[in-house]
Structure 1
Amino acid sequence: MPLERLFRIFSSLRLTVALLILGMVLVFLGTMAQVSMGLYRAQNEFFRSFFVYWGPPGASWRIPVFPGGYLLGTLMLINLVAAHWRYFRPDWRKSGIVLIHAGLVLLLLGQFATDLLSVESTLHLREGAAKNYSERDRHVELAISDVTDPERERVVAIPHRILARQQEVEAPGLPFRVRILQFHPNAAVSQRTAQSTRPPPANQGFGPQIELIPLPHVTEMNKRDVPAAVIELVTPEGSLGTWVVSEYISQPQTVTVNNRTFTLVMRLQRVYVPWTIRLLDFRHDRYPGTDIPKNFSSRILLTDPRNGTEREVLIYMNNPLRYGGYTYYQASYDPDDRGTVLQVVRNPSWLTPYVACAMVSVGLLLQFSIHLFRFTARLNR
């Protein structure tokens, strides 16, 4: 029967060996591709995808040429479950094997959950400053702030993935719709000269004074893309004009609608938390007589008004702060040694690799002990 034949294929040892070989080839190709693509793009195209695509330079089409990490992981999971279902017979003497297989399944599912749910961001703090948010290094957002009331500011943030769709966005609380006319994953902004023959990219804000120059994708590890967009604000009465938004334009651009004032800023995407981190002191110790870093640490004050928490914590290498599902690692520091850089990680499935490895270890130990007990019993007889 076709279903039985398909089941035998998915549960075969040959498929297991083939998937392991393809996995090793994928790791090799993905590692080599980091030279030209950079780490993050290689991760997305080789390991966080179902297929690896290829196309001629400059072409608008690409074809799948190799299975990606998600596809291989899914097939490995199906192969593991199908093989266990095909060959396993209920017997307490094989309880260790059951535990080993369950640990491997949990390990694969945990890695998939980590890719989908984990969020990494960066917290930059100067001594004495406090923040309740961190920033994602490679994601931006368009922040539209209602600054009419000086005592209270309301912000509507349109994230990177929505800007890239180049569609019209209607957000509650805004008296206008935001139409994304252009989105450039990487672009530079320069001062417009009198000799320029290009038309201005926008007619409001800094648009008539600047030029927008699209740039190729950046692959270097110490650099990143700086996205830019051309947006149009539209009310029921008609268009309010067009604006250019980019991180290169640090000064907010304002627009007034119905006696309400709004600012437009393109910034790194923020991850807000209900507590505050204040940097009390930063230390950067060096080996005597050299500029070689010996240790750097951050003494911070954690304040959570929800439960009245207020405590000092020292964060240094291999000693992170874990609080509220977030982990704060000491990552770097400012060149003048007056500020710290903390890496912030939120990973709801962070415990699954530890549990999976523990299950596999206990399963191996249990299965070895069962065989050892039976072997010893035969010798005694």
Structure 2
Amino acid sequence: MNRSLWKFLTSLRVTIVLLGLAIVLVFIGTVAQADEGLYQVQNRYFRHWIVIGTTLWGYKMPWFVWPGGYSIGVGLVVNLLAAHIKRFHWSMSKLGIQLTHVGIIILLVGQLATDMLQVESHMTFNEGETDNYIERARYHELAFTTDLDKDQQQVVAVPEPLLKQGETINNSKLPFTVKLQTYGGNGDVVSIAKTMDAGNKLTAALGTLEAEFSSADQLVPQAQRVAETPGRAEIWRDALRGVGETDVEDIVAAAKRVAADPAKEGKLRADLKQRFRAGMLMRFSNMSDDKDPQMASGMRLAAERVSAGQPVTEASLPPASTEGAGAHMTLRPLPEVKDMDTRSFPYAVLDIQAGGKSLGTWLVSEALREQPIKVGDKTVYVSLRGERHYLPYSIKLLHATHKVYAGSDIPKDFRSRILISNPTTKENRETEISMNDPLRYGGLAFYQYQMTKDELDRSPGQSVLQVVHNPSWLAPYIGCIVVAAGMLWQFLHHLVGFITKRRTARTA
């Protein structure tokens, strides 16, 4: 090897530069989370070879180029390994240092392998249910399922990267051809009927608001009603201050003064209508109802259209498809989410063709259940779902235990009693998975997911397991043991040498 290259690879300056690059990368990645989201930053900055473009404090910097986490990590491993080879001299006195270096290399290589090879999935089931697959929440697939018999299904799955608008899907196992008419990364599938219902309620509420402040005579009676609805008091006080009133503690008295002043009363009524209208639209826009999510989505869409001055009528809400659930749904495209707490719901409109003609269009989304498509005497169920990986065994949830500390929502003990049935090994045994006691089976690690109070209220008998496939899961343990052994050896070697010298000096 060229001497100058070898000198460069073993240089301590290279180590310092790489550490400096890592510090800058961590800083930029931390700041960028505010604009790009944690999940996006992890993939683009730390699980990538090079970073091209960034957004800091709201400013886009497309010209920014920086080595990614993989590049810096590999550079540190190569530098440390080369320096270790160059300076390696076998002796008992330096064995501890050598072991420490080897342990650090194992830790770095293990972390790189974990980032590149680890796959996280989940398994969700209710008590009494049996599943033989795991799903990846942030990856999706278009699935066509056909029942072969009561125990077997035929599945044709198209991974998300192949789902592109205008693409045609042909498969010999399907009795039809699929053309992707529309595909989007995130969208809200909304019931047309629920949206119209929400629109009627919102329009009626806004009409009542308009009538409440239609004339100066209405000001004082409305001010008197504030005592019945304390939440409106601050809105009134802010509006009164806006027209020049300084003493707004007694809202009724202030309203009487303004009502007697023609120059102020019109401005106050307009301001109050605008404030209450904005608050009403905001409540509709932020509506979240787990008991009736379709109604909540309809209220959000109705508020969005009313705010934009658009009608909420059947004619203004075109159905997303001609067949299936989409015939009663409208589609509301949304920007893809980037944070860890929420996720995108991709959607697609499929044009199903057989015998040289179109059978109609179907809307598929993770928010919808699988839908039947009948061609002749064959029925195929279509769905857009989380990417599934089937297991050679099945797991049945026997019992789910959810406990929290008294008087709080803090998890105390979440555990799942499961039954593993493996026809290959003829294994049929029960075991338990808890928060601090995962199950390792078949190359996978099953961890108990800590469900929130809302999740528990919605599904009291449900359990969610986080499933991790990590071929390098032992690397951190081995690396730490080797580093600890090296440090212990180095300490004991010097300690024994020190004690031996002292004894020799005393003897002399």
Fold in common (TM above 0.5): yes
Return the offset for 1:47. 0.7
Alignment partner of 1:226 is 2:349 = no
Asked if the contact 1:187–1:228 (Cα under 8 Å) also holds between the matched residues in 2, the reply is yes
Match of 1:324 in 2: 442
1:335 to 456, 470, 484: 456
Q: Cα deviation per residue 1:351-370 (whole Å; 9 max; x = unaligned)?
A: 11111111111122223333
Match of 2:156 in 1: 156
Q: Structure 1 CA distance, aligned partners of 2:13 and 2:142?
A: 51
**285 and 238 in structure 1: CA distance in 2 versus 1, 3 angstrom threshold:** closer
**151 and 66 in structure 1: CA distance in 2 versus 1, 3 angstrom threshold:** closer
Return the offset for 1:131. 1.5
**166 and 102 in structure 1: CA distance in 2 versus 1, 3 angstrom threshold:** farther
Asked if the contact 2:165–2:182 (Cα under 8 Å) also holds between the matched residues in 1, the reply is no
Which consecutive unaligned segments of at least 5 residues does structure 2 have? 193-312
Look up the SS of the partner of 2:450 in the other structure: strand
Asked if the contact 2:106–2:475 (Cα under 8 Å) also holds between the matched residues in 1, the reply is yes
Look up the SS of the partner of 1:364 in the other structure: helix
Asked if the contact 1:148–1:262 (Cα under 8 Å) also holds between the matched residues in 2, the reply is no
Q: Structure 2 CA distance, aligned partners of 1:370 and 1:236?
A: 83
Match of 1:45 in 2: 44
Return the offset for 1:293. 4.0
Give runs of aligned pairs for residues 236-255 of structure 1, distance below 5 A: 242-255=361-374
Which consecutive unaligned segments of at least 5 residues does structure 1 have? none
Q: From the CA coordinates, give the structure whose radius of gyration is larger.
A: 2
Give runs of aligned pairs for residues 177-188 of structure 1, distance below 5 A: 178-188=178-188
Q: Cα deviation per residue 1:14-56 (whole Å; 9 max; x = unaligned)?
A: 1111211222232232233333322211211111111222268
Q: Structure 1 CA distance, aligned partners of 2:400 and 2:134?
A: 18
Q: Structure 1 CA distance, aligned partners of 2:167 and 2:499?
A: 72
Aligned CA-pair RMSD: 3.3
**TM-score, normalised on structure 2?**
0.66
**281 and 158 in structure 1: CA distance in 2 versus 1, 3 angstrom threshold:** same
Match of 1:34 in 2: 33
Match of 1:262 in 2: 380
Match of 1:348 in 2: 471
Return the offset for 1:142. 0.9
Q: Structure 2 CA distance, aligned partners of 1:168 and 1:306?
A: 38
Ranked by relative contact order (alpha carbons within 8 Å, sequence separation 6 or more), the top structure is 2
**56 and 91 in structure 1: CA distance in 2 versus 1, 3 angstrom threshold:** closer
**115 and 280 in structure 1: CA distance in 2 versus 1, 3 angstrom threshold:** same
1:277 to 382, 395, 399: 395
Match of 1:145 in 2: 145
**101 and 177 in structure 1: CA distance in 2 versus 1, 3 angstrom threshold:** farther
Aligned residues: 378
Counterpart residue identity of residue 102, structure 1 = V
**152 and 313 in structure 1: CA distance in 2 versus 1, 3 angstrom threshold:** closer
Q: Structure 2 CA distance, aligned partners of 1:140 and 1:187?
A: 14
**203 and 303 in structure 1: CA distance in 2 versus 1, 3 angstrom threshold:** same
**211 and 18 in structure 1: CA distance in 2 versus 1, 3 angstrom threshold:** same
Worse-matched range after superposition: 270-279 or 342-351: 270-279
Return the offset for 1:247. 1.5
Whichever structure has more strand as a proportion of its residues is: 1
Q: Structure 2 CA distance, aligned partners of 1:93 and 1:179?
A: 70
Look up the SS of the partner of 2:437 in the other structure: coil
**TM-score, normalised on structure 1?**
0.85
Identity of aligned residues (%): 41
Match of 1:130 in 2: 130
